[in-house]
Amino acid sequence: MTNPRNDHTATIGLWIGPALFATILLLPLPDGMSVEARRLLATTALMSAWWLTQAIPIAATSLVPIVMFPLLGIQSPDTVSSAYINKLVFLFLGGFIIALGIERWGLHQRIALHIVRILGTSLRKVILGFMVATAFLSMWISNTAATLLMTPIAIALVVSLQDALTGRSDHSGSLTPGENRIDRNGPLGPFGISLMLSIAWSSSIGGMTTLVGTVTNVQFVSLWESRFADGPQISAGGWLAAFGPIGIVMILVTWGILTFRMPTPGKDAVNRRFFSERLKTIGKPTRSEYLMFGIFLATAMLWTFRRPLEFGDVTLLGGWESVAEWFLFDVLRADEAVFPKGFVHDSTVAVAMAILMFVLPGERTASGHSQRLMDWPTAQRLPWAILLLVGGGFAIASAFQETGLAEWVGVAFAGTVDGWAIWALVAAICFLLTFLTEFATNVVVVSVIMPVLAEASLKLNIDPRLLMLPAAASASCAFMLPIGTPPNAIVFSSGVLSMGDMARKGLLLNLIGVVLLTLATVFYLVPHLGLSTGGTPAWALPKEVPASI
């Protein structure tokens, strides 16, 4: 990666990390926390300090769990290593290969120029346009997939604008994560930073607003239905009605944060006429561009319609995944014990399309030699460092669950909030979930914390939805660290952002998100859903109320 690093800060961080590690290990062991959990907490503090200050290369910090977890008895080498090569890592890999193909044939330039020409030439409006497009896309496909689709276009856009200001005539702006020629210290540096952050954050916000937008929402509904089977069931339409308005407000607030006092240079040089003329200079699309656009569009469609598109109790369109299951189970008679339902994943699509690019013929060279859409020398430019970063985050998340550290945090929280005002209780939950998911995968956090909150609501004599709904939404609001969510990691790989860029603005947005979700719960969700704040609903009471949680 080529992210700039402050050597003084890096030196300080190099010593702060081990100091935090030793301090946590030497402090008295808190009640209920396992020794392994404390060792994990110490290791996480060490890695967080090094990640934030870039004391050593970020990819090198990401490898710490492979060494420390076995030596400290946190996880075995087999377990921790498996976190670095799973289906989500392959989703990244396939998506990045598609991005490299878009860049190789110059399709990114054409798409970016058309976007600017349509949206207008205000840099602030361009950011809002990208946010709306990304948020809408992430409502129906995974946040990761939405970010993978939008990031290469955004990078090309910044390069095109930068070329307009500098008078460059070539159109070979690189999309390779970490290797592009965007000047973050130039006049368009603030715009590039804001644009990258807007894509990651709007994808998380958009995913929060629908049941299918993110795995944690589906997971929450599953936990809800298993624990409160007699309670009101949460439909896709009901979820959208509850969180859609909240998402709109968060998009606008985020846009305001990202564009506040943002310089807008080159107003005279950047206009619609310029981009129309530049499109003429590029010339007509080539065969390879058409094929890459087909790959791009097919990937988006396959991601979007893999699962049924539903609204409330109405299925608008069946997912193609069911056709694949029908073929496997009914035609080929495969054993469902070997191939469980849901065996197809977004990574299946990404890798399939990446392989297809190595098969389809592209443009011929000047000497008449046939080329494929993708070749291995180009694919070798994959951002391996960012894949290690993602793997390190998965390793920490897995260990959080196995050592019981996430559960310890949740139980400790539940035991301290008895007697709190509703608004303070909701704010504390939002704060806990928001910042806990910065270090642990939100799926893990939801799995561990939600059952605790369900039982805590019985003890506090309130509607369980009052605690669990804002918690589920907050699990999608990790904006501060690259390891917080895959979208954060993807835009960080652009090479435009430093860790400080994301951490500073992300911390502000985290805190604003806590406030917004608290206000929305108290003043919107309570009356909208009829949430009880002064007594546990009859449907929530178990046959035998546990003596303690």
Note the pLDDT tens digit of each residue in 66-104.
999 999 999 999 999 988 887 778 887 888 888 888 878
Beta pairing partners, 370 = 364
Mean pLDDT of 469-475: 91
Residue among 22, 60, 63 nearest 41 (CA) = 22
- pLDDT, residue 252, reads 94
Mean pLDDT of 330-341: 65
Say whether pLDDT at 384 is over 90. Answer: no
- pLDDT, residue 413, reads 66
Q: What is the helix (H) or strand (E) element at residue 315, kind and residue range?
A: strand 314-317
Confidence of residue 23 (pLDDT cuts 50, 70, 90): very high
Name residue, tokens 């990666």. 1
- pLDDT, residue 199, reads 93
Q: What is the DSSP letter of 118?
A: H
Say whether pLDDT at 363 is over 90. Answer: no
- pLDDT, residue 513, reads 93
- pLDDT, residue 266, reads 56
Q: Under DSSP, is residue 364 helix (H, G, I), strand (E, B) or coil?
A: strand
Residue among 435, 424, 432 nearest 450 (CA) = 432
State pLDDT tens for residues 164-219.
Answer: 666 654 444 444 444 455 667 776 778 888 999 999 999 999 989 887 677 778 77
Confidence of residue 247 (pLDDT cuts 50, 70, 90): very high
- Count CB-CB contacts under 10 A for residue 330: 9
Confidence of residue 335 (pLDDT cuts 50, 70, 90): low
The tokens for 275 are 């981009």
- Is position 101 within any domain? no
Confidence of residue 1 (pLDDT cuts 50, 70, 90): very low
- pLDDT, residue 336, reads 65
- Residue 29: is it exposed, middle or buried by C-beta count within 10 angstroms (0-12/13-18/19+)? exposed
The tokens for 365 are 């060279």
pTM for the full model?
Answer: 0.67
- pLDDT, residue 173, reads 44
Beta pairing partners, 372 = 361
Q: What is the DSSP letter of 314?
A: E
Task: Kindly report the average pLDDT of the chain as a whole number.
Answer: 79
- Is position 61 within any domain? yes
Residue among 164, 156, 165, 161 nearest 199 (CA) = 156
- pLDDT, residue 152, reads 81
Q: What is the DSSP letter of 105?
A: T
Angle between helices 384-403 and 87-104 (to 10 degrees): 160
Residue among 259, 288, 243 nearest 192 (CA) = 259
Name residue, tokens 């936990």. 223
- Answer whether 88's CB lies under 8 Å from 347's CB: yes
Say whether pLDDT at 546 is over 50. Answer: no
Distance CA 468, CA 185 (A): 43
Q: Which residue has the higher pLDDT, 523 or 442?
A: 523
Say whether pLDDT at 27 is over 80. Answer: yes
Comparing 330-344, 389-403, 472-486, the range with the smallest average pLDDT is: 330-344
Which range among 137-141, 243-247, 360-364, 488-492 has the greatest average pLDDT?
Answer: 243-247
- For 74, 188, 542, the CA distances from 472, given in Å and listed in that order, are 28, 36, 22
- Is position 331 within any domain? no
Q: Which residue has the higher pLDDT, 26 or 192?
A: 26
Q: Which residue has the higher pLDDT, 92 or 35?
A: 35
Phi-psi region of 507 (alpha: psi -120 to 50; beta: other; left: phi over 0): alpha
Name residue, tokens 């080529």. 2
Say whether pLDDT at 521 is over 60. Answer: yes
Task: Tell me how many helices (H) and strands (E) the chain has.
Answer: 25, 4
Q: What angle do CA 511, 512, 516 make, to 5 degrees?
A: 125
Percent of the chain topping pLDDT 70: 80
State pLDDT tens for residues 207-236.
Answer: 898 876 777 787 787 777 777 777 777 766
- pLDDT, residue 313, reads 56
Residues contacting 274, CB < 8 A, separation 6+: 164
The tokens for 277 are 């003329």
Distance CA 172, CA 515 (A): 44
- pLDDT, residue 172, reads 46
- pLDDT, residue 141, reads 67
Confidence of residue 358 (pLDDT cuts 50, 70, 90): very high
- Answer whether 490's CB lies under 8 Å from 96's CB: no
Q: Which domain holds residue 507?
A: 7-86+384-540
- Is position 492 within any domain? yes
Mean pLDDT of 514-532: 88
Say whether pLDDT at 544 is over 60. Answer: no
Comparing 31-35, 349-353, 368-372, 422-426, the range with the smallest average pLDDT is: 368-372
State pLDDT tens for residues 295-324.
Answer: 988 887 887 777 766 554 556 666 777 777
Q: Which residue has the higher pLDDT, 334 or 67?
A: 67
- Answer whether 395's CB lies under 8 Å from 83's CB: yes
Confidence of residue 59 (pLDDT cuts 50, 70, 90): confident
- Is position 407 within any domain? yes
- Is position 330 within any domain? no
Coarse DSSP helix, strand, coil percentages of the chain, rounded to the nearest 5 percent: 65, 5, 30
Comparing 299-313, 341-355, 419-433, the range with the smallest average pLDDT is: 299-313
Phi, psi of 264 (to 5 degrees): -125, 75
- Answer whether 107's CB lies under 8 Å from 295's CB: no
Distance CA 109, CA 175 (A): 10
Mean pLDDT of 503-512: 92
Q: What is the DSSP letter of 522?
A: I
Confidence of residue 260 (pLDDT cuts 50, 70, 90): confident
Domain count, the chain: 1
Distance CA 328, CA 347 (A): 18
Comparing 38-42, 194-198, 524-528, the range with the smallest average pLDDT is: 524-528
- pLDDT, residue 545, reads 45
Say whether pLDDT at 135 is over 50. Answer: yes
- pLDDT, residue 531, reads 78
Say whether pLDDT at 111 is over 70. Answer: yes
- Answer whether 418's CB lies under 8 Å from 460's CB: yes
Percent of the chain topping pLDDT 90: 20
Distance CA 105, CA 216 (A): 37
- Answer whether 309's CB lies under 8 Å from 140's CB: yes
Residues contacting 486, CB < 8 A, separation 6+: 88, 92, 143, 144, 147, 390
- Is position 41 within any domain? yes
- Is position 278 within any domain? no
- pLDDT, residue 160, reads 73
The tokens for 139 are 């409502």
